[in-house]
Structures are given as structure tokens and as C-alpha cells.
Structure 1
Amino acid sequence: MHILQQILFLLLVVTAVTLFTKKIRQIRKAIQLGVEEEIADNKAQRWRNVLLLAFGQKKMFRNPLVGVLHFLVYAGFIIINIEILEIILDGLLGTHRLFANSLGTLYLFLINAFEVLALLVIVACAIFLIRRNIIKLQRFISKELDGWPRSDANYILFTEIILMLLFLTMNSGDTLLQQRGISHYTEANTGNFIISQWLHPLLQSMSNSQLIGVERTCWWLHIIGIFAFLNYLPYSKHLHIILAFPNAYYARLTPLGKMENMPQVQQEVLYAMQPELAPTDATPPTRFGAKDVTDLSWKNILDAYSCTECGRCTAACPANITGKKLSPRKIMMDTRDRAEEIIQQKSKDEAWNGDGKSLLHNYITVEELRACTTCNACVQECPVSINPLDIILQLRRQLIMEESNAPQEWNAMFSNIENNFAPWKFSPEDRSKWMAES
């Protein structure tokens, strides 16, 4: 019987790892749709960002209560799952609590710590479910979250609660079976654990066979749930659990108010002012700005896949607050959806050469782009260092420089700058006249 269980467990592990690897490779290909960009400066600051922003979740603690709750769910869930290593080895080797005897007192301390964290994760997830579904905070009831995005968050929270309950029930049944001297379970003489011992009264009346059934069922459901969760992550906004770390490392370190100039534009302006510098064989730029995700940087697409859909960017956006259509969260969700659409079509047909759609117009509208004030509030608020503004600016450059699509007021300003070297409609020679008249 043990051999059969080990074979089934091996098949489970291989299947879960294979499916997860396949999807991660697909996401990697989607990120590689973007234009190559070298990001390798100031490595010390980048590692500091990983530590403070990704793992330490520094920005979340602007609201201390939410910061603590989120840290418990995030760090607690990761730390608790260290015990997965033991479960996997037990499943493959047919052992029971492989590390219990070798680690001794340290093992008891670790499992007790895991149980306390499990209880805290359950409480934190319950509070987050209440915030989302009963209190209904404004940023969680936006129309852009209708359907799958709203359900996705609830599925994850419910799953984490169930996994933690299975973990505690499994430990409770295990320690009871140890007390009853059941073979296999007596391989580990751990004694009671700090939280799961309080579940003993619920299980005490069961027979040995029933109790073994409960413990084994919880063991199997727990590890199957972990592997299912692992394979659900790449399809969920909760992929940020993994991508927050590289995204924090590759975040732009320039001051938020500094915009990235386009070398192609600077070059064209230079040649216009000093034609003698223009090479005779100069080739014009293929495109100004970005129309589709393939024109964006790979970092922009990594941003999109790292988005937590928490809505802090949209809640801080002055354009959105005043009722305009712009939502930085939607910008990131649309970018990710478009990248997914392209990579899925490419996977079906390697010769695929477009579907007549683009990120600009088909996903993100002109009205949304024009509403942006480039204030950087969205960038400042994002807990995982995402930059929606960079995507907005590149799409707007495409609109204006490729499609000549700008409001009349903007066109008038552009003409004034081109002719008068200032946004106002008067001659450069008259620029200082106001001083003489005052």
C-alpha cells in the first residue's frame, strides 16, 4: 500500500511541476515580446528594493493595520510552506515526519511557529474577505474588476483559509494517533502542538481507523491544494507573490518627475536645427512611442504581470478621482491581457503575424490616455514598484507623433513651441516686453 501511495505521490509531483513550468515559460515568452532594455545600474539599491519593497512590503505599512495583515498572509503563507519540503520527502520516501527526530526541540519550535502563523493567516484572510465583500471598499467594487478579477481574489483567500485549516487538522490527528501508539505515527514522537491540540476534543471520539482516515485525507488534500495553488498562480493576479521580487529589482531608480526622453526624437530635432550633422544614409525611426505590447519594453510587460490589482494606483489618481475614465490599474490589466492574447495565438500558430488589433484603441482608449496628468501618483502608491505612467506616455507619443491625434489646444501649443520656442503665441523678441511695460 505504501508503495502505491509513493507512486501516486510521485505522479502528482511530476504533473504539478511540469504544468507549472510550462505556464511559466509561456509567461516568460510574453514578457520577451517587449523591446530589449538594459537595466543593470546601482545593484546595491536594487537589492535594497527587493528586501524592503518586495519582501518587507514597506509601502503597505503606510496603513499599519493593512500592512501587518498583508505581511501575515504573504510572509506567513510562504514560511508555513517550508513544511512542504518534509511532506514531499515523506510522500516520496514513505516516511512520517522525516525531520522530527533529527531536529528534536527545533522541530517542535518550528511546527509551533507554523501553527501560530497558520492561525494568523486564517484571521487575516477572513478580515480581507470582509473588506472586499461586506464593507466593499471603493477600490474593490470598481467595474473593471467585474467577473473573473473579483472572483480571483476571493478564491485565493478562501483557498488559503482551507489550506491552513487542513494543516492544523492534519497535525491534530497526527498527535492524537501518536498518543494512541499507532505504528507509523510513532516514528515521530513530537508531543502536542500549540494550536492544533485545541482541535483534539473534536477528533477524540473517532476510532483509530477513522482518525487515520481524517489525518491522511487532510495530508493529501493539503499537498494537492498546495500544488493546485502553485499552478493557479500563473493564471491569477497573485502571480505577484513570485514576480514582486524581480519587479522590485528592475524598478526604475530615476526621480519620479523625470521623464525618459526618446533618443529618436532628440536626434530628429538636432538634425532639423543643424542639417549639416545629418548623415546622408540616415534611416528614419520605425516608430515613435508604442502602439502594441510588442513596442513596449520587457519591463513594462513584467510590470503588467506583477500587478496585484489592489487599486491603490487608481485610488490615488487625480484624474480618476475627478470622474475621468483613466484607471492606472486598468492600464496594467489591459497590457497583461493583450500580452496573453498575443502569446496564446503565437503558441497555436508560429507563423502568426497579427490579428488587426492593438493595445492602443482596442484595449486602451484615447480618452483614458488624455486624462493622465503625469503626476506620478500611481507610481508612488504601487506596493510592488509598477510604473503605469511609462506605458501611458509611450502610447500617447504614438498618438501624437504617429497619428497626429491630439486635442486642438495641444496642437496650438505644439505650433507655438515649434514657431516661437515657447507655449505662448508671441515672438521670441517680444518675450521680455512685459518687464519694460511694468
Structure 2
Amino acid sequence: MIGQLIFGVLLIAGIILFYKNASKIYRNIRLGKSLDRSDRPSERLKVMLLVAFGQKKMFKKPIPAILHLFVYVGFCIINIEMLEIVIDGLFGTHRVLSFMGGFYDFLIFSFEILAFLVLMGCVVFAVRRNILKLKRLNQSELDNWPKTDANLILTAEILLMAAFLLMNAADYKLQQLGAAHYHAVGSFPISQYIASWLPDQVSTLIGIERGAWWFHIIGVLAFLNYLPISKHLHIILAFPNTYFSNLEPKGKFENMPSVTAEVQVMLDPSLPPPTGEPTRFGVKDVQDLTWKNLLDAYTCTECGRCTAACPANMTGKLLSPRKIMMDTRDRLTDVGLNIDKNGEFVDDGKSLLDTHISREEIWACTSCNACVEQCPVNINPLEIIIGLRQYAVMEESQAPASVNNMFSNLENNGAPWKYAQADRANWANQ
């Protein structure tokens, strides 16, 4: 009864804590500007099923995609067993779902195979990251906490799967020994081999089985509450993020509503002037971004596929689309903590532009959309970069000399080049 009480308290505390942290993330995302992404629901559902559930864009790199699929499917399906663990923990039963007979045996068999694949996948990922040191997994923006975060998650998943298999191994051996309450049930294709290494004393085996059981459930609850401060929040957010993807062609540039309103008044004085607060042109801080941009930031997996495909980054320029998303998330986290402390946002003298993202970074972008195309969960760093540029030009009149020259040519010649419009076709006469 004491064990059931402890389990119940831990379960309720873990769920409440996760809800509290998830609520703060939801609040932070809602700090962004409104954006309507409710259109074309059937098309959006298809995108979510293909990209988030089906891992479609991951398979541009087949080997890591297959390993990720093992981890993704395995971790999701194995946690179906959490239903049985919760029932057993609350009511003091043991393998309460075993009444399903042969189907239960099939489930345990499948869970074991998947647990082994998850464990192996995580080991390979750890080797690629820490021993082979793949370039995109070891760039400067991943120094310190991001690298630690990735390794903590891989270690946690390895330990959780190892605990699951060890629990089953001890259970299997207790069944073989005819221990009380451990009736023969389940199929153990992996843990039956681990069982041969375990001692034959029933009391020791029960201690191992119960210890692994508690480690597994506490580990899952700890993992659940670690997600809100980890890049692995994409486990949850990948699904809404892909559902609310931009369905328009990637090269389509949307006019800013605030600019459109101002221009309409200039062209037609009979129209009423824009009302409300003076509108900021472009993006200076995270509050100027849309809620979808902020959802993108929280969904970023830090996989680096965007940066690996970025032509500016390839040529040694400072820009890294992954860093743009990480910086946006870091700034949004700071703003959220500011609100928690003061009840509302109090100006801290910082902003997304300059404090987190430099001018050199935003002007290095070629706006080619390679990062958008490569992202496995449809994140769009380019929208943030363009918004920051718009603020620099339209609010501050600050742009590189080459851009200012282009603006001057557009104003004087109606084209980006120095020669007059009348001379545009001269090349055809050569």
C-alpha cells in the first residue's frame, strides 16, 4: 500500500509539473502576432501525416532516417506499456493486462524488439556525435548546453531501454523459478538472454525487477518534465508545427499588412488612416514575430540539416539557420522568465536583433530557401531573417552599402543596376 501511495504521488506530481511547464511554453508562443493557419485542413492533415508521422523529409539521409525511425517508433510504442505500469502501480497488481493471452505475448515480444532497436539506435547516434564527430553535430552553436542536452537525452533513452529489458529479464527468470506472483506470461526474445547472467536467488531477482520497474517509471516522468527545457520538445511539437506549415510556394513573398495600409492611405487620401498603436515594420524582438515563428523555435531539433545545406555557411560566412532558431528560442525563454518575475514584460534593454542575432548573420543569407526545404519538421528560419532585415531597413535605415546602392538604383533607374531602363536591352544588339 505504501508503494502504491508513493507511485500515485509521483505520477500526479509529474503530470502537474509537466502541465505547469507546458502552460508557460504555450503562453510564450502566444506572445507572437496573430496568424491565420486554419485554411485547407485536409491538406494540412496530409502534410502532418507525411512529415511528422511518416518522417518523409528525414529520408533524404537514409541511414540516420532509419535509425531515427527505430527510436521514434520504438519509444512511442514501448510507452504504450506505460498504461500497464500505471495500473500496476496504482492498484498493486503485476502485469494486469496479461489476461489478453497470446496478444499480450505478442505485445511484449514487439516491445522487446523495439526496445533493443531504440537502444542500438541511440548508441549509434552517440557514436556519430561524440566519436565520429560529424560536422553538423559539432558546430560552434552546439557548444556547452546544447551538446550536453543531446547527450543527456541519448543517455536517458539508453538507460530507460536497458531498465526495461533488465526488468523483463528478472521477471522472466522469476517465472522460470516459479516465484509467487510471477506467473508465466509474455514472450522475451531479448531479455531471456540477459536473464542467464542474473543470480538465481528469488529475493535478489525481485529486488532487481522492482528496482528496474521503479527506475523506468521515475525515468519516464523525469524525461517528460525534462522535455520543456530540451530540444527534444519536438517529440510533441512536431505534429502541430507541421500541421500549421506554410502551404504557399516557398518563394512567395507576403506583403506586410502594416506597409500595405500605409501605402493605401498615401495613394487614396479618402481612406481613413490606420488606427491603434503605431505599427513596427519588421522584427526587432520575439514579440514582433508570429506565433508560428515562435512555435518553430520551440520545435527546432537542432539536427543541423538546415545549416549543412546553407550556401552562406558552406562558404564560411557567419550565418547558421540552426543558430537563428536556437537564438530565437533563447530570447523567447528570457522574455518568458521576465514575465514570470514581473507579471508582465519589463524592458530589459535586450532584443533578438543585435543581442542574440548579429547584422552580419542576417545579411549573409541568400534567401534561397535551402534551410526551409531541408528541415525535417517544416521550420522556416528565412521568415525570421527577412523580418529582421525589414526592421533594419525600414525602421533604422541601416543596410550594407551594396544593398543601399541597389535601393538607390531602384529609385533612380527602376532596376537594381546602374544603367537606365532604356539601355536594358542593349546586350541583344551585341
What TM-score does the superposition give when structure 2 sets the normalisation length? 0.96
Tell me the CA shift for residue 280 of structure 1: 5.8
Percent of aligned pairs sharing the same letter: 54
Matched AA of 1:380: E
**What amino acid sits opposite 1:224 in the alignment?**
I
Q: 1:285 to 1:113 in 2, by over 3 A?
A: same
1:293, 1:359 within 8 Å by CA — same for their partners in 2?
A: yes
1:396 corresponds to which letter in structure 2? R
Is 1:146–2:171 an aligned residue pair? no
List aligned pairs for 1:147-162, cutoff 5 A.
Answer: 147-162=144-159
3-state SS of 1:38 partner: coil
What is residue 434 of structure 1 aligned with on the other side?
426
Q: Say yes or no: does 1:349 pair with 2:342.
A: yes
Structure 1 equivalent of residue 95 of structure 2? 97
Describe the shift of the 1:419–1:106 C-alpha distance in structure 2 as closer, same or farther (beyond 3 A): same
Deviates more, 1:275-284 or 1:233-242: 275-284
Distance in 2 (CA, whole Å) between partners of 1:369 and 1:350 is: 32
**TM-aligned CA deviation for residue 61 of structure 1:** 0.9
Contact 1:30 1:343 in 2 (8 A): yes
Q: In the aligned structure 1, how far is the partner of 2:382 from the partner of 2:37? A: 18
The one-letter code of the counterpart of 1:131 is R
1:265 deviates by: 2.3
Cα distance in 2 between the residues matched to 1:93 and 1:282: 61
How far residue 418 of structure 1 moved from its aligned partner, in angstroms, is 2.5
Distance 1:335 1:175, change over 3 A: same
Structure 2: gaps (5+ residues): none
1:113 equivalenced with 2:110 (yes/no): yes
Q: CA deviation at 1:433?
A: 6.7
What is the identity, as a one-letter code, of the residue corresponding to 2:400?
A: P
1:215 aligns with 2:232: no
Structure 1 position 229, deviation (Å): 0.7
Q: Is the 8 A contact 2:407 2:416 kept in 1?
A: yes
Matched, 1:232 2:226: yes
- The question of whether the paired residues in 2 share the 8 Å contact of 1:313 and 1:379 is answered with yes
CA distance in 1, matches of 2:31, 2:382: 20
Matched, 1:259 2:253: yes
List aligned pairs for 1:420-431, cutoff 5 A: 420-428=413-421, 430-431=422-423
- Structure 1 unmatched ranges of 5 or more: none
Match of 1:166 in 2: 163
Matches within 5 A, 1:367-378: 367-378=360-371
* Alignment partner of 1:268 is 2:262: yes
Rounded to whole Å, the distance in 2 between the matches of 1:47 and 1:270 is 36
1:413 and 2:410 aligned? no
Distance 1:9 1:283, change over 3 A: closer
Q: Partners of 1:202 and 1:252 in 2: how far apart?
A: 54
Alignment correspondent of 1:49: 47
CA contact (8 A) 2:261 2:274 kept: no
Quickly say closer, same or farther: Cα 1:138–1:433, change in 2 above 3 A: closer
What letter matches 1:24 in structure 2?
A
Decide whether aligned partners of structure 1 residues 282 and 180 sit closer, same or farther in structure 2, where only a CA change above 3 A counts. closer
Q: 1:86 to 1:437 in 2, by over 3 A?
A: closer
Q: Tell whether the 8 Å contact from 1:86 to 1:98 is kept in structure 2 after alignment.
A: yes
* In 2, Cα distance between equivalents of 1:132 and 1:117: 22
In structure 1, C-alpha distance between the alignment counterparts of 2:27 and 2:98, rounded to whole Å: 42
Partner letter of residue 208 of structure 1? V
Q: 1:190 to 1:33 in 2, by over 3 A?
A: same
**1:198 aligns to 2:208 (yes or no):** no
Deviation (angstroms), 1:421: 2.3
User: Which residue does the alignment assign to 2:238?
Assistant: 244
For residue 185 of structure 1, give the secondary structure of its aligned residue in structure 2.
coil
Q: Closer, same or farther in 2 for the Cα pair 1:281/1:158, shift >3 Å?
A: closer
Match for residue 64 of structure 1? 62
Query: Which residue of structure 2 lines up, in the alignment, with residue 316 of structure 1?
Result: 309
Distance 1:282 1:158, change over 3 A: closer
Q: Distance in 2 between matches of 1:282 and 1:214?
A: 69
Please list the CA deviations of residues 356-409 of structure 1 after superposition, one character each: whole Å capped at 9, or x if unmatched: 110011000000000000000000000011000000000100000001001122
Partner of 2:178: 181
Query: 1:26 is matched with which residue?
Result: 24
What is the total number of aligned residue pairs between the two structures? 430
Q: Quick one: structure 1 residues 283 and 424, their matched pair in 2 at CA, closer, same or farther if it must change by over 3 Å? A: farther
Change (3 A) 1:209 1:410: same
Matched, 1:131 2:142: no
Instruction: Output the CA distance in 1 between the equivalents of 2:173 and 2:46.
Output: 46
Residue pair 2:338, 2:344 contacting (<8 A) in 1 also: no
Report the Cα distance in structure 2 between the residues aligned to 1:340 and 1:18, rounded to whole angstroms: 20
Deviates more, 1:258-267 or 1:44-53: 258-267
Secondary structure in 2 matching 1:190: coil
Write the distance in 1 (CA, Å) between the matches of 2:428 and 2:88.
Answer: 89
Distance 1:246 1:176, change over 3 A: same
Q: Is the 8 A contact 1:264 1:285 kept in 2?
A: no
SS in 2 for 1:424: coil
Structure 2: which amino acid aligns with 1:197?
Answer: Q
| Cα distance in 1 between the residues matched to 2:32 and 2:277 | 21
Question: CA 1:153–1:424 in structure 2 vs 1: closer, same or farther (change >3 Å)?
Answer: same
User: Could you tell me how far 1:436 is from its partner in structure 2?
Assistant: 9.5
Superposition CA RMSD, Å: 1.7
Q: Given that residues 335 and 345 in structure 2 are in contact (C-alpha distance below 8 angstroms), is that contact kept between their aligned partners in structure 1? A: no
What is the TM-score of this pair, normalised by structure 1? 0.94
Letter in 2 for 1:190: V
Relative distance call for 1:4 and 1:366 in structure 2 (3 A) is same
Distance, in Å, in 2 between the alignment partners of 1:121 and 1:176 is 23
Q: Which residue of 1 aligns with 2:285?
A: 292
Q: Distance in 1 between matches of 2:169 and 2:399?
A: 66
Does residue 403 of the first structure (1) align with residue 403 of the second (2)?
Answer: no
